[in-house]
C-alpha cells in the first residue's frame, strides 16, 4: 500500500513543503520515498509512523546544479517591517506566508519581531542557495514586497561588505547597525 502526501515542515525557523510517498516493505516495515530530487535523503526505512514523522523533518537541499560565481556561496534576502506598527507587522506576516506557499523549496526563517544583529527593525529572512532560486525569488519579491524594504546580499565570507557594499536594496534602504557585523568570517 502506498499513499502520496505533502507535508509542511518547519525546521530551525524556516518552512517548506516536501512531497513524499509512504509505503510498506516486507515484514510491515514502513518507508518514505521523497518525490523531490532536491531532498537530502532518497529513502528512509523505519519501524513506526513516528519514524516517518521524524524523517519528514529533514531539510531539502539544493540540487547539484549550477552554482553562483565565486566567491559568492549563496544569497540572503531580508524583508523588514516596523515591529511597533501593527499594520506593518501583519503585512510582513502575510507576505512571509505567501513566500512559504509560493516557494516551498526555499529556506524561510523565523519571523523576528524585534531587532536582531545588524537589523534595526523586525524582519524575516529567505535563503537563496542556487542561481535558479535567485532568478525565481528576487523578481517576484521586487513586485510583491507590499511596500516593505528588502535587502538582498551575497554571502562571500565578508559580512560587513556583503551587507553594505555588495548589497542590493529594493524599496527604502534601512540603516543597518554595521558595528555588529564582522569584517570576515573565520573558520
76-114 pLDDT, tens digit per residue, is 999 999 999 999 999 999 999 999 999 999 999 999 999
Q: How confident is the model at residue 53 (pLDDT cuts 50, 70, 90)?
A: very low
What average pLDDT score do residues 32-58 get? 38
User: Does the model's pTM come out above 0.75?
Assistant: no
Query: Residue 42 and residue 24: Cα distance in Å, rounded?
Result: 16
Which carries the bigger pLDDT value, residue 92 or residue 15?
92
d(CA 178, CA 107): 24
74-180: CATH topology: Alpha-Beta Plaits (3.30.70)
Give the least confident one: 17-21, 30-34, 112-116, 164-168.
Answer: 30-34
Averaged pLDDT, 143-163: 97
* Residue 172 buriedness (CB in 10 A; 0-12 / 13-18 / 19+): exposed
Percent helix, strand and coil across the chain, each to the nearest 5: 25, 35, 40
- pLDDT value for 184: 85
Residue 5 has pLDDT above 60, yes or no: no
Q: Mean pLDDT of all residues in the chain? A: 78
**What are the residue ranges spanned by the domains of the chain?**
3-55, 74-180
Average pLDDT over residues 33-56: 37
Amino acid at each position: 500500500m502506498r499513499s502520496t502526501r505533502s507535508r509542511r515542515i518547519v525546521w530551525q525557523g524556516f518552512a517548506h513543503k516536501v512531497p513524499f510517498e509512504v509505503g510498506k516493505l516486507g515484514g510491515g516495515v514502513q518507508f518514505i520515498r521523497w518525490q523531490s530530487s532536491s531532498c537530502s535523503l532518497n529513502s528512509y526505512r523505519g519501524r513506526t509512523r513516528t519514524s516517518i514523522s521524524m524523517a519528514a523533518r529533514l531539510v531539502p537541499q539544493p540540487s547539484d546544479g549550477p552554482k553562483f560565481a565565486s566567491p559568492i556561496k549563496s544569497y540572503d534576502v531580508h524583508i523588514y517591517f516596523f515591529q511597533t506598527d501593527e499594520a506593518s507587522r501583519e503585512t510582513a506576516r502575510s507576505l512571509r506566508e505567501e513566500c512559504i506557499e509560493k516557494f516551498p523549496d526555499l529556506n524561510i526563517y523565523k519571523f523576528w519581531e524585534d531587532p536582531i544583529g545588524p537589523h534595526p527593525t523586525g524582519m524575516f529572512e529567505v535563503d537563496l542557495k542556487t542561481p535558479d532560486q535567485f532568478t525565481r525569488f528576487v523578481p517576484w519579491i521586487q513586485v510583491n514586497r507590499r511596500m516593505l524594504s528588502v535587502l538582498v546580499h551575497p554571502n562571500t565570507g565578508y559580512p560587513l561588505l556583503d551587507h553594505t557594499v555588495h548589497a542590493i536594496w529594493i524599496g527604502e534602504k534601512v540603516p543597518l547597525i554595521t558595528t555588529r557585523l564582522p569584517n570576515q568570517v573565520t573558520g
